[in-house]
Amino acid sequence: MSDIRVRFAPSPTGYLHVGGLRTALYNYLFAKKNNGKFILRIEDTDRSRYVEGAVENLTAALKWAGLQYDEGPDAGGNYGPYLQSERLNIYHKYADELINKGHAYHCFCTQERLEKLREEQQRQKLPQAKYDKHCLSLTKSEIEEKLERGIPKVVRLNVIPNQRIVFNDIIRGTVEFESNNIDDQILIKSDGYPTYHLANVIDDHLMKISHVIRGEEWLSSTPKHVLLYDFFGWERPAFAHLPLLLNPDRTKLSKRQGDVAVEDYRDKGYLKEALINFVALLGWNAGDDREFYYMDELVEKFSLERVNKSGAVFDIVKLNSLNAEHLRKKRNEDILKLLKEEIHNSQFSVLNISDEFLLQIIATMKERVGFVKEFITSCKYFYEAPQDYEQKAIEKSWKDDTPEQLKKLRDKFAKLENPTKEDYEIALTKTAEKLKIGKGKLIHPLRLAVSGQSTGPGVYDILAILGKNEVIKRIDRALEKIIN
């Protein structure tokens, strides 16, 4: 097989859609798996949709996700420029070539005429509005005269009627369209910019793209592209159209039902490894039940042949559980880095926290959290003494004799020297024996006193992390503040 070159070709809308991330990822995996090149091309020919900073957002999101491209606007490469708005002269040259060969033509029809045509076709209940090739019958001199007068114009594709357009799709097999259902697509707009179809085909050809891997929503554009390849006399790339992304109710994935921007997931604290893992499974599996993957394993396992045709449901519950699993499998030192970033970026001002202290929290809480930020939010008591105590827990475990018993425990703790978690446990067991009460009578109020909560990691772990002085202080404070 000749060199594998694939591209992700987003229009810069302002953010990277998760569907776009999936397309980019599949292209990336396919390139890496086959020792190919992954190219980023920005399709910014729709000037009405221009968004300031959109390209920067896109490249930042791709890089955050680990999808480094080999060629692209800020990466260079031998086939640039990689921004379509910088390639206008190329599109014009090729449009002229098509016109000269009779595969495209100038159209000078006014908006009013096109509007009337559409209304007429609607009246006739035609399945779709189509241009009637009116300008195809203009003579050469008529065309020249209009061009000279500077009459607004577009360039249209000259679709030949009554033909079958057939192409192969790696995921869907043979796909067929009737040319009668295809409009004489505008190739160059009146503002001189090419449409998606023309620019896309020319660039894929000039950039030597071997495989076009993109979302299913572009499948209906492909017959137009196929016509263009054939008209130019160019070899077609291989096509693979990825399944739609669906909401859990099987409607098309939409903003209304949740976040669709990769940036939103990043800002909510999802790990890039988890998002990549999750997105990889939106339409692909390795042929078994396995769901947990790192990027290098995906590269190894990925194949277009195992991409499904049917829509893939975006299940946030699955994403959350993958996030927790990826977090759990990280080394504590790596989590520490993320946690320090989180602390740095949050409103939460915790001064003088040592790495050692944070590492203890990480080790204790790792199995209980789903997000890095929960190393703070789900266990604030490690960082500051509780301000209030869970009312329900007070009612349940803080009895009349609790203060007296807890005081005994406090005194026992006070005598310990540099206690470990085992030392605390032994001290508590002995105190309970002496008081002839069950250990629970001490454990529950103790947990409440030091954390303000009734749930959490093992109470002796909490004590060991807080340290003796803090533990004693908190017990005293609870004895003062909790009145049943």
Instruction: Kindly list the residues in this chain that would bind ligand GLU in the complex (CB under 6 A).
Output: 9-11, 43, 196, 200, 214, 218
Compute the least distance from the CB of residue 379 to ligand GLU, in Å.
43
Which C-beta is closer to ligand GLU: that of 43 or that of 425?
43
Which C-beta is closer to ligand GLU: that of 180 or that of 220?
220
Compute the least distance from the CB of residue 214 to ligand GLU, in Å.
3
Contacts of 141 by beta carbon, 8 Å cutoff, 6+ apart: none
Alpha-carbon distance of 143 to 140, in angstroms, equals 5
Is 255 among the residues known to form the active site? yes
Q: Give bridge partners of residue 188 from the DSSP assignment.
A: 155, 194
Which C-beta is closer to ligand GLU: that of 228 or that of 394?
228
Q: Which residue has the tokens 């703070």?
A: 376
Residue 184 one-letter amino acid: D
Which C-beta is closer to ligand GLU: that of 218 or that of 413?
218
Which C-beta is closer to ligand GLU: that of 165 or that of 428?
165
Compute the least distance from the CB of residue 73 to ligand GLU, in Å.
14
The H or E element spanning position 184 is: none
Compute the least distance from the CB of residue 462 to ligand GLU, in Å.
51
Compute the least distance from the CB of residue 204 to ligand GLU, in Å.
8
The H or E element spanning position 422 is: helix 421-435
Contact 212, 204 (CB under 8 A): yes
Question: 401 is written with which tokens?
Answer: 């004799």
Quickly list DSSP for 277-290: HHHHTSSB--SSS-
Compute the least distance from the CB of residue 245 to ligand GLU, in Å.
13
Which C-beta is closer to ligand GLU: that of 218 or that of 381?
218
State the DSSP code for 37: E
> What residue ranges in 201-298 does DSSP mark as E strands?
211-215, 238-242, 245-246
Active-site residue identified among 116, 255, 399, 430: 255
Name all contacts of 132-139 with Cβ < 8 Å and 24+ positions apart: 133/158, 133/184, 134/107, 134/109, 135/105, 135/106, 135/107, 135/108, 135/109, 136/105, 138/105, 138/106, 138/108
Closest CA to 257 of 211, 315, 184, 306: 315
Which C-beta is closer to ligand GLU: that of 56 or that of 401?
56
Question: 69 is written with which tokens?
Answer: 């491209």
Burial 68-89 (b: 16+ CB within 10 A, else e): ebebbbeeebebbebbbbebee
State the DSSP code for 73: T
400: number of CA atoms within 13 Å, CB side?
0
Compute the least distance from the CB of residue 240 to ligand GLU, in Å.
11
Which C-beta is closer to ligand GLU: that of 9 or that of 471?
9
Which C-beta is closer to ligand GLU: that of 245 or that of 376?
245
Quickly list DSSP for 318-340: HHHHHHHHHHHTS-HHHHHHHHH
Compute the least distance from the CB of residue 463 to ligand GLU, in Å.
56
Query: Dihedral of CA 436/437/438/440: which sign?
Result: negative
Contact 219, 241 (CB under 8 A): yes
Compute the least distance from the CB of residue 46 to ligand GLU, in Å.
9
What dihedral do alpha carbons 457, 458, 460, 462 form, nearest 10°?
Answer: 10
Residues taking part in catalysis: 255
